[in-house]
Structure 1
Amino acid sequence: MNSPRIAFVGAGNMATSLIGGLLAQGVPASHIRASDPGVEQRSRLNAEHGIELFADNPAAIAEADVVVLAVKPQVMKAVCLDLARHLKGHELVVSIAAGISCASLANWLRAERPTAPAIVRCMPNTPALLRQGVSGLFATPEVSAAQRQLAEQLLGAVGLALWLDEEQQIDAVTALSGSGPAYFFLLIEAMTQAGTQLGLDAQTAARLAQHTALGAARMAAESQVEAGELRRRVTSPNGTTEAAIRCFQAGGFSELVQQAMQAAQQRSAELAAQLGD
């Protein structure tokens, strides 16, 4: 990354993860600032990463090329209205808050300027804390090619960054990858419980389930073969895996996953409507 000046408004877990990823990519600590109301959080982040911390949001964004909005959705409007008169107009604004549309952000941040700010809205997921995340990104028309590259590099510091053609696809990303880690945790939990019922001790069952999930995910991510074909390759006719797969299919596994993701997508859209302006 070409060392832009980056300001984080909010210094929670996701912001901290992004800051760590940027520093690992070679962005100088002197080019990163952050603001947070918590004294302990500011002290910890300064001690860990050596960046400059502020209690005041406007002070943090002074001279920034990129402003990352990393506050809770419920306080986003108040934060944006406070920042609006302090923006110079050339900054890229990146929002990692769930449920806040680009239109709402633009309305809150515009102040008296005749043009809308350049906004990238994204939906990262919690594995970003391990720099194994995946994020869906959407850019407004005001975002330049150079700014798109900056946003991609910013989110790419903690994993995979994929561009979306339409903002409403953020709801689908939320349903798939935003909420997705919890689906896998649920499966690992269920497999662990089943393993104990089959006679394994809880620790052994948990480790087997965790590392099976990890290995399968790596195979799927690193292979050029689609997941369905990988499944078929390990499913021998009349074997143990086929017996289990048939049981899953008989219980409507695929249909249940689809229903669950549709529920998540609908809830994401509902929250966006409630939090918007």
Structure 2
Amino acid sequence: MTRIAVIGGGRIGEALVAGLLESGRASKDLVVAEPTAVRSELLGERFGVRVTDSVADAAMGADVVVIAVKPQHVDGVLTDLAKAELGDALDQVVVSLAAGIPIARFEAKLPAGFPVVRVMPNTPMLVGQGMSAIAPGRYARPEQLQLVTEMLESVGQVVTVAESQMDAVTAVSGSGPAYFFLVVEAMIDASVSLGLTRDVATRLVTQTMLGSAALLDESGQSAVELRAAVTSPGGTTAAALRELERGALRSAFHEALHAAKSRSAEVGGTAD
């Protein structure tokens, strides 16, 4: 069995561990590196996996080393990984879930020719509904990319993109849940202003979003087609959509995603 080391026991690291176990991975094949004692104890008790405070200890002997830490902690992790003598005993691959950090930064600090796969996940992986985009480094082989794909499919869906598209992916699916939650928040507030209780408004909006997403996913129709099917000429939906268009909703999303892409490039040092 593939042995997987998860470096970082935060929410994303925990979600990956939970998904891997749910998909049938044995707890003995997983190890987590987490320096915070309280968090370490919680993960060990909740999932029955080995948890260590040493990055080098976790990575030693692992087939896949997943770096699931905040971007500012990546360099420290790479320094610690150097102590693990990566690549000496096994054909290992490093998988980065750290937002904005380019593959070249990992390849420069890891042993020459070391395979790296960059991933942009999102928070719905916490409930097994994540969207992950993966980009292979220069030395990652097809079978390693497939291994990473299968690992991430335990917590959602996966697409493969060129690394040059990662800033755009970050703007769309990486930050996307926040846009969705903002729309939900706005709809709930507006519903309350119509006289509904917040509990009822929350239930109405949440289920409407869930049902609409399922319909879009399963119907085979485009968002344009489904929107048109709900919009009768001169009806209530048409009146509402007219106000949203008047409020420049499309333009706001266009500017928002471009801003997110630009910021992602700045963080990763890839901005023009």
Into which bin does the TM-score normalised by the smaller protein fall?
over 0.9
Structure 1 position 63, deviation (Å): 0.8
Secondary structure, in 3 states, of the residue corresponding to 1:141?
coil
Partner of residue 266, structure 2? 270
Partner of residue 222, structure 2? 226
Partner of residue 96, structure 2? 95
Specify every segment of 5 or more residues in structure 1 that has no aligned partner in the other structure, as ranges: none
Secondary structure, in 3 states, of the residue corresponding to 1:121?
strand
Amino acid across the alignment from 1:70? A
Deviations 1:16-68 (A, max 9, x none): 11111111111111111111101121111111111111111111111110000
Structure 1 position 116, deviation (Å): 2.3
Amino acid across the alignment from 2:173? S
Q: Distance in 2 between matches of 1:199 and 1:5?
A: 55
Specify every segment of 5 or more residues in structure 2 that has no aligned partner in the other structure, as ranges: none
Deviates more, 1:98-107 or 1:214-223: 214-223
Q: Distance in 2 between matches of 1:66 and 1:195?
A: 47
Amino acid across the alignment from 1:32? L
Partner of residue 136, structure 2? 139
Deviates more, 1:137-146 or 1:263-272: 137-146
Partner of residue 148, structure 1? 145
1:251 aligns with 2:247: yes
Structure 1 position 95, deviation (Å): 0.4
Secondary structure, in 3 states, of the residue corresponding to 2:148?
helix
Structure 1 position 251, deviation (Å): 2.0
Find 1:206's aligned residue among 191, 202, 206. 202
Q: So what's the TM-score if we normalise by structure 1?
A: 0.93
Q: So what's the TM-score if we normalise by structure 2?
A: 0.95
Partner of residue 173, structure 1? 169
Structure 1 position 145, deviation (Å): 1.5
Give aligned-pair identity as a percent.
41
**Contact 2:87/2:114, CA 8 A, preserved across alignment:** no
**Contact 2:231/2:237, CA 8 A, preserved across alignment:** yes
How many residues are matched? 267
Deviations 1:76-127 (A, max 9, x none): 11210221242125211000000111000111223xxxx3211110111011
Partner of residue 68, structure 2? 70
Secondary structure, in 3 states, of the residue corresponding to 1:168?
helix
Q: Distance in 2 between matches of 1:222 and 1:16?
A: 29
Amino acid across the alignment from 1:88? G
Find 1:41's aligned residue among 34, 39, 42. 39
Q: Distance in 2 between matches of 1:37 and 1:125?
A: 23
The alignment yields a C-alpha RMSD, in angstroms, of 1.2
**Contact 2:6/2:33, CA 8 A, preserved across alignment:** yes
Find 1:126's aligned residue among 109, 123, 126. 123
Q: Distance in 2 between matches of 1:45 and 1:260?
A: 36
Structure 1 position 211, deviation (Å): 1.3
Q: Distance in 2 between matches of 1:43 and 1:196?
A: 42
Q: Distance in 2 between matches of 1:128 and 1:68?
A: 15
Q: Distance in 2 between matches of 1:54 and 1:199?
A: 52
> 1:7-86 to 2 correspondence within 5 Å?
7-86=5-84
Amino acid across the alignment from 1:102? I
Q: Distance in 2 between matches of 1:188 and 1:72?
A: 27
Partner of residue 190, structure 2? 194
Amino acid across the alignment from 2:52? F
Q: Distance in 1 between matches of 2:219 and 2:150?
A: 24
Deviations 1:138-174 (A, max 9, x none): 001311121111110111111011100x212111111
Q: Distance in 2 between matches of 1:273 and 1:10?
A: 23
Q: Give every structure 1 segment of 4 or more consecutive aligned residues whose post-TM-superposition deviation is greater than 6 Å.
A: none
Amino acid across the alignment from 2:121? P
Partner of residue 215, structure 1? 211
Q: Distance in 1 between matches of 2:63 and 2:197?
A: 54
Q: Distance in 2 between matches of 1:206 and 1:50?
A: 36
